[in-house]
Amino acid sequence: MAERSILLFGYGSHGKFIAKGLHEDGFRLKIVESRQEYYLQAKEDGFIDVEHMDVTSDSLLEALNPQHFEQLVCVMEDEHLNVFLTLSLRSLFKESYILSISDSLHTTKKLKMAGANKVIDLYEVSANKIYNILSRPVSTKILEGIVLDREGITFREMLIPEGSFLHGMMTDDADFSPYGILLIGMIDEELGHTFVFITTGINHKLDTGDTLVCIGPKEKLDIFEEEIKKEKSVL
């Protein structure tokens, strides 16, 4: 089994962001897509190891040698096909680690019954779950890809500038909800550029030069990024 190797099934709305994140993180990546338009898009985006095939064919799946990959990631655009694929892979490759993506609780149950080792349910992703998932680099990139493509929601890193109203404020006192965004964590310069998750329950002081990591709609993040340059705010 090759280390840091991923066999990614699907290059649709979620898959393309997942592929980009995994590639940037240095994983050896092979993409499999059943729809011609997504296959061509993957090739156009610069991915070399891309295969266009019928994922319902056991013989074609076996020819991919999935057992030689560290993880199999199922993110086909069609949720029914994603469940079928997960079931087929588990039946054929009993020792492989399979991670699947779900858009609903109903689909999550199906994927777990189909044999997925890990199911990321888009409707259950919360700050605490993000904290747990981030201990796994593969899942981190997958989560980023999902959030980046989900209804305009994205992550944003924002540097606290000199003179900002946030300077000296404690994280427990910082409520970003009036801006329609959520503070996930921060990169604290006093702790040696260490990333701190807000869900850890430790109260941290915000300082000029620290970097906030927030999640929310792009347009609201844009507004807040301008707001933190001011000396006073609604917080």
Q: Answer whether residue 189 shows pLDDT above 70.
A: no
Of 118, 149, 180, the position where a domain reaches its end is: 149
Structural domain including 202 reads 154-227
Q: How many Cα atoms occupy the beta-carbon half-sphere of 66 within 13 Å?
A: 29
Predicted confidence (pLDDT) at residue 129 exceeds the cutoff of 60:
no
Inform me whether the pLDDT recorded for 38 exceeds 90: yes
Domain boundary among 149, 169, 185: 149
Whether residue 60 sits in one domain with residue 161: no
Whole-prediction pTM value? 0.57
Q: Is the pLDDT of residue 200 over 80?
A: no
The Cα 124–Cα 130 span in angstroms is 10
Query: For the domain that residue 164 is a member of, what is the CATH number?
Result: 3.30.70.1450
Give the residue, 84 or 108, on which the prediction is more confident: 84
Q: What is the dihedral of CA 59, 115, 25, 193, to 10 degrees?
A: 180
Residue (of 172, 186, 190) closest to 215 by Cα position: 186
Last residue of a domain, one of 149, 177, 204: 149
Q: Can you give the pLDDT at residue 35? A: 96
Q: E strands of the chain, at which residues?
A: 2-9, 28-33, 50-52, 69-74, 98-102, 118-121, 153-159, 182-188, 194-197, 211-217
The domain that holds 81 is classified in CATH as 3.40.50.720
Give the number of domains in the chain: 2
Tell me the average pLDDT across 154-163: 84
Res 182: pLDDT: 76
Residue 105 carries which DSSP code? Answer: H
Query: Which residue would you say has higher pLDDT here, 126 or 28?
Result: 28
- Beta strand pairing status for 182-188 and 194-197? antiparallel
- Max CA pair span of the chain: 64
What's residue 126's pLDDT? 47
pLDDT bucket at 219, cuts 50 / 70 / 90:
confident
As beta bridge partners, residue 118 has: 99
Burial (CB count <10 Å: 0-12, 13-18, 19+), residue 176: buried
How sure is the predictor about 143, in pLDDT bands with cuts at 50, 70 and 90? Answer: low
- pLDDT band at residue 198 using 50, 70 and 90 as cut-offs: low
pLDDT attached to residue 135: 46
Report the pLDDT value the prediction gives residue 148, as an integer from 0 to 100: 52
Tell me if residue 133 falls in helix, strand or coil: helix
Per-residue pLDDT at 128 exceeds 70: no
Indicate the pLDDT class of residue 65, thresholds 50, 70 and 90.
very high
